[in-house]
Amino acid sequence: MTTLYVDNIAPNLQSRVSVPGHVIQVVQGTYATETDSNNSSFTDTGLTASITPSSTSSKILISVTAPGCGKPGGNTGAYASYRVVSVIGGTTTEVIIAAPQQGYTATSDHDFGVVSINYLHSPSTTSLIQYKLQNRTGGSGTTRFLADDHSGNQPTGTITLMEIAG
């Protein structure tokens, strides 16, 4: 029998154990600034999060939750469209997913809705990826992103990114 003697054992910092389907890392971005919009083209809402996948076979589970509403006081009818885009190296690389439109009527002060997006993205890169929520307004009214609840409570939008081992 052979005996192995060692003075020190150090972990290999260049490797990670990853079992397919397991969460490798979790990142969350938050944003809590109420914003009115009547832009007819997609613009950034301010809700972002960034992640660097550890492998090109990893997938990123994107989860977004944020409240919105029609602007109070004389809203003549509007709808909000939302989408998540990925940005690599400062360049928008693709539209990931669009959420259903939220419609707001002309007769109410606030028609609340919640943006809820869940999507499993396969970016095939180990570069830093920024995910951004964008919105645009259609119709003749104005929409409000992250509207308060009339009690002075400002909601927070969240975007959570989970790297899933491939």
Spell out the per-residue pLDDT of the chain, length 166, in tens.
788 888 887 666 566 666 889 999 999 999 998 888 888 889 999 999 999 999 999 999 999 998 876 655 455 567 778 889 999 988 888 887 776 566 666 555 555 677 888 999 999 999 999 999 998 887 777 777 887 666 777 789 999 999 999 8
Q: For residue 158, what pLDDT is reported? A: 95
Q: Model's pTM, two decimal places?
A: 0.80
Q: CB atoms < 10 A from the CB of 108, how many?
A: 12
Closest CA to 135 of 93, 105, 91, 95: 95
Which pair of structure tokens corresponds to residue 118? Answer: 């869940």
CATH class of residue range 24-161:
mainly beta
CB 138 within 8 A of CB 78: yes
